Structure formats: structure tokens, C-alpha cells
Amino acid sequence: MKIVVIGGAGFIGSHLVDKLLSLGHQVAVIDNLSAGQREYVSAAATLHQIDILDPGLGQVFDAIQPEVVYHLAAQKNLRLSITNPILDAEINILGSLKVLEQAARCQARVIFASSAAVYGNASVDIDEDSATNPITPYGITKLAVEHYLQFYHQQHQLPTTIFRFANAYGPRQDPNSEAGVIALFCHWQLEHLPLKINGDGKQTRDFVYVGDIVAALVYGLTNTGVYNVGTEVETSLQDIVTALEQISSAKPQIAYQPAIIGEVLRFNFRTAKIRALGWQPQMTISAGLEQTYTWLQQVKTT
């Protein structure tokens, strides 16, 4: 199929492009390269460097004529969304609407990368029917786009699929911009810097490897609906520190900081819905952490 990946030069998007190409699809990438990296885009894909807010976006869609649109582009910085919610909304809502308008013109299937942030302070055993109550502008914009997708599905009969990711990690995640805790911890360990932990480090998250996320996204080609993507395993920050010590053969320095008021102390997804399609996470946290650490180590030495 002719597939366009919006944000295809980024962390998850570039891995998705590689997978789609391996499956024999014709893939184009739309990315403004503000966060994505040109070198992450396979030479077998066509890269269009353009912002989704650019008036010329329609011309790019006319040239591609996609049958499927993966929409992964977003302002992903949670803290920036809090300090600058207008910018967050411009990119994540208005930009997404421009993408959806073009998809409607092409009558293309839309597969959207949403987030656990739509659930707000909900913590454990969260399934797709759990209440959505986002507490950050980032989460609000993700949920807003989900509602717009429902509108475009009803108004234009577009097949739509929504994937709500837990805590993504893996190679190509930028510790300087996306601030995923595993990428940050690996970076600090490699730089011999203290690992900053808010509170006691016993807070848990559901860490899902980028390869498993990509495998889930592929199911969007033939399935519609809303799906959680996670491992159903709670992993604490202290667990990450212990595993990182084994991988790096060096005891991490820890800089404990005051706990963040209101921080969710436990988190994990229920994923029976996507597992019913045949998807299963393949990467353990220890193996995925080693892959991430090794990749970042190689990047720093080249």
C-alpha cells in the first residue's frame, strides 16, 4: 500500500517506517525535522520536509496519494505543554486537523498515536473503557484529536485506529528532548552523572519497547478501534537503576529529589483488547534496557 508516516523521522516513526518497508509497502515520510533526524529515515522511503501546519501540506498529499496515514507527529514535551499550552494546541490540535483534512480528501485510513496521558491520574489496571480525564494540556490535545477522529470517521467514513501508548523507550529516543526516563537514565549513566529520582524511586511505570509498539501499529492496517499498548508489567525506577548497574558494570550515583506533588505512584495498562488480535510484547525490560544503553553508547562514541 501507499503509506505516509507523519513524524516518520522521529523515535517511534522511523522504526515504523523501517517495519513498513520490510513488509513491502511504499512509504513516504512527512516531518519538519524539528525533533526527527534525517539519518533515521531509510533511503527506501521518500522524505518530505514540511511542517503539518504548512499550507503546502495538501500538495504533498496530492503527490503521495496515500491509502494509509500514520499520524505520529506531535509536540511531545509534557512540561512545555504546561508552560505553553497555546503552542501545544497549535501543533497537536490544529496540526492534526490539517492532517485529517488531507486524509479525508484522499479517503485514507488514519492510524493515530495517542497516549496514556488521556487517562489523567488513573493508575493501575487501566483498560480502554477506563475514564478519560487528562490533567495536562498534552493529554487534553491527544484526547481532543481522538474525538476529532470519531467525527471524521462518521462524517467521511474514514477507517480510524487509535493506539494509546504506555511509557515508550528504546533506541533513537532523544534524552534531551523527549525526556523518557530510561533514555535519561542511560544518558546520565554514560556521562557519569547522578541519576535524578523524584521521591523514593518506588513509583512504577509500564515501559513498552519501541519494537513492540511498532508491531502493534502494524495491526492498525487491518483493524479499527482504540487499543492500549503496554506490557501489563509494573517496573519501578529502582528496578531500572538495578538493571542499569548490571548492564553498565558501574554502580549509578543517585540524586534523590523531593517527590512531585500529585505524581502517579503506580501505573500499568490492561491490554487484552490488542492481545486478542494476536499482539504480544516480546521485549523484557532488562533486554530492552540493554538495547537502549548499547545504542546510546554507540551514538556517543561516533
pLDDT digits (tens, 9 = 90+) for 99-128: 999 999 999 999 999 999 999 988 899 999
Specify burial of residue 95 (Cβ count, 10 A radius: 0-12, 13-18, 19+).
buried
Supply the pLDDT for residue 172: 96
How sure is the predictor about 300, in pLDDT bands with cuts at 50, 70 and 90?
A: confident
The secondary structure element, H or E, covering residue 111 is strand 109-115
- For the segment 139-156, the average pLDDT, to the nearest whole number, is 97
Backbone angles phi, psi at 71, to 5 degrees: -110, 100
Supply the pLDDT for residue 178: 53
- For the segment 18-32, the average pLDDT, to the nearest whole number, is 98
The residue from 40, 70, 119, 138 that is catalytic is 138
- For the segment 50-60, the average pLDDT, to the nearest whole number, is 97
pLDDT of 177 > 70? The answer is no
For residues 12 and 163, is the Cβ–Cβ distance under 8 A?
Answer: no
Report pLDDT digits (tens) over 212-224: 999 999 999 999 9
pLDDT of 90 > 90? The answer is yes
Known catalytic residue: 138?
yes
Supply the pLDDT for residue 179: 62
Q: Among positive and negative, which fits the CA dihedral 194, 199, 204, 207?
A: negative
Q: Who's near 101: CB < 8 A, 6+ residues apart? A: none
Could you count the other beta carbons within 10 Å of the beta carbon of residue 50? 16
- Rounded Cα distance, 34 and 273, in Å: 34
pLDDT of 232 > 60? The answer is yes
C-alpha cell at 83: 508552560
* Closest C-alpha to 289, from 135, 152, 165, 171: 171
pTM: 0.96
Which domains does the chain possess?
2-167+208-229 (3.40.50.720), 170-206+233-265+283-300 (3.90.25.10)
Residue whose C-alpha cell is 511504499: 26
How sure is the predictor about 82, in pLDDT bands with cuts at 50, 70 and 90?
A: confident
pLDDT of 266 > 60? The answer is yes
In the chain, the amino acid numbered 102 is Q
